[in-house]
Structure 1
Amino acid sequence: MKVLIIEDEEHAASHLINLLRVIEPDVEVTGVIDNTEEAAEFLETQPPADLIFLDIHLSDGLSFTIFDHIRVDIPVIFTTAYDEYAIRAFELNSVDYLLKPVNKERLQTAVGKYRRLEQRNGREINKQLLGRLTELMKEGRSYRQSFLVPFRDRLLPVPTVDFAWFELSNGVVRGMKFDSKMLTMEERSLDELSEVLDPKLFYRANRQFLVNREAIREIAYFFNGRLYLKVVPSPEEKILISRAKAAIFREWMSG
């Protein structure tokens, strides 16, 4: 059995591989990928695996958006840190999920379910599960309306909509406001911010930038099929969308 693991936590990926080798000694791991951009490119260009283990949250956004634009005829088993009660709401007979931390018994059950389904059409399996996941994540979800930002000897409340973009630079997350004031955030990563920001308003352009759609003034074509976002206020570094994510971004902007 050939498996592809899409997971941004190194220890979680290693743990999963070790368990797989215990229950499936002949398993072949065709790749371990930690972001949606590389995953999309891999799935487009490399020989297919039999099964994908896919973490929902990756370093550059929600992983199941990959399948909105790339044809994947491979069954998926999701791994997630979501609450078990919520997960049961979308568990299907066709594929399975693994709640982190993954244990051997649960993995055996998931692989067993895949074995019983491997003759079925993988794309239809993915379509059903992804649709249910999307519904679940929209139900009752609320997003951060403001942030408390450190400023000298106090904290300032700043409405979320006042931020044009966020950047990660030298391990520090900073937010640029529309009035051109740069603030250092308490959040330690863009992943942490992505969890609380409305995905209809903010887009994870790449590993370095999260962008408010209201800040985007122009989208220019760049080298190798990439897109260059011209935003106001303008950052020192160019905000680039990779070729693999260009179609997803254009659909987001049109939404």
Structure 2
Amino acid sequence: MPSAIIVEDEVLAAERLRVLLEESGVVLLKVFHHAQPALDWLAVHEADIVFADIGLPEITGLELVERIKRVAKRQPEIIFTTAYEEHALRAFELAAVDYLLKPIKLTRLQTALERVSKKYQEKADDFTHFKVFSRDRMMEIPWQQARYLLAENKTVYLYTGDGISYDLPKTLLYWEELLGDKVIRVHRNALVFRHTLDCLIRMDDEEDESNATWCAKVLDVEKPLAVSRRQLAAIRRVLKDKT
């Protein structure tokens, strides 16, 4: 399920889009009516998609995207919204996924979301092996043998089903984007391969379930992995789909 923010100065237009995104199963993280707060937020947070109105008051949506490329913690996909068509060519030059005319229709929005999903899936489908060094030689590990990725002390480690770990280059965000639907984030520092996610384990006796502590049991891994409250609902959906 993708996450998104809206950058839209028209309150009614933002509300309409919010309702359509909810109907489409998109997790809406924030709504911004001005460009700068959106840029500040993207510098420290992550979203899969930015819905950007081209006619923002301070700067245009096109300028906003140029700045997002410079400051974003992780580059989101861009979908422009506007009442006019004349900026369409420039929008696609900036690698926008799509360009939605207001008033936005649900079917048209879902087509744009399918394009985003296809881009992520194409990246994931192309990936077959991790290339790692072990005893001074290069090894290729099929992704199906992996169990989870863990970021510790500025290094990402790949853990396989036999309990061996390997150093990986790049960041956890890089691997999350590359692997797409093959993985799910269980914590800010951990990605688990979906096919190895076994079950959730409650680690306390809290009466209030909203304050409960949970861990994820991973196939062939003895120690459960901590689960953040933010990811709990998504993990439950994955487990439900597997049953």
Interval of TM-score (by shorter of Structure 1 and Structure 2) = 0.5 to 0.7
1:24-59 Cα deviation digits (max 9, x unpaired): 9xxxxxxxxxxxxxxx6854xxxx5347869xx999
| Contact 1:162-1:177 within 8 A present in 2 as well | yes
1:194-236 Cα deviation digits (max 9, x unpaired): 233251x321223211101233222134663674212231458
Match of 1:142, SS state, is helix
Consecutive unaligned residues of structure 1, counting only runs of 5 or more, are 7-23, 25-39, 67-73, 82-86, 107-112
| Contact 1:144-1:198 within 8 A present in 2 as well | no
Tell me the residue number matched to 1:181. Answer: 164
Identity of aligned residues (%): 15
Counterparts of 2:138 and 2:156, CA distance in 1: 16
| Contact 2:194-2:238 within 8 A present in 1 as well | no
Which amino acid in the other structure matches residue 185 of structure 2?
A: R
Structure 1 length normalisation: TM-score?
0.52
Match of 1:129, SS state, is helix
Counterparts of 1:150 and 1:100, CA distance in 2: 39
Which amino acid in the other structure matches residue 141 of structure 2?
A: V
Bigger relative contact order, structure 1 or 2 (CA pairs below 8 A, ≥6 apart):
1
Question: CA 1:240 to 1:203, structure 2 compared with 1: closer, same or farther past 3 Å?
Answer: same
Equivalent of residue 249 in structure 1, options 198, 222, 235? 235
| Contact 2:53-2:82 within 8 A present in 1 as well | no
Which amino acid in the other structure matches residue 144 of structure 2?
A: V
Counterparts of 1:76 and 1:205, CA distance in 2: 32
- Tell me how far 1:142 sits from its aligned partner: 2.7
Match of 2:114, SS state, is helix
| Contact 1:146-1:160 within 8 A present in 2 as well | yes
Tell me the residue number matched to 1:133. Answer: 116
Tell me the residue number matched to 1:195. Answer: 177
Number of matched pairs: 186
1:120-168 Cα deviation digits (max 9, x unpaired): 3697775453233224544686332112211122111211111111100
- Runs ≥4 residues deviating over 3 A: 40-43, 48-54, 57-62, 74-81, 90-102, 120-128, 135-141, 221-227
Structure 2 length normalisation: TM-score?
0.54
- Tell me how far 1:171 sits from its aligned partner: 0.4
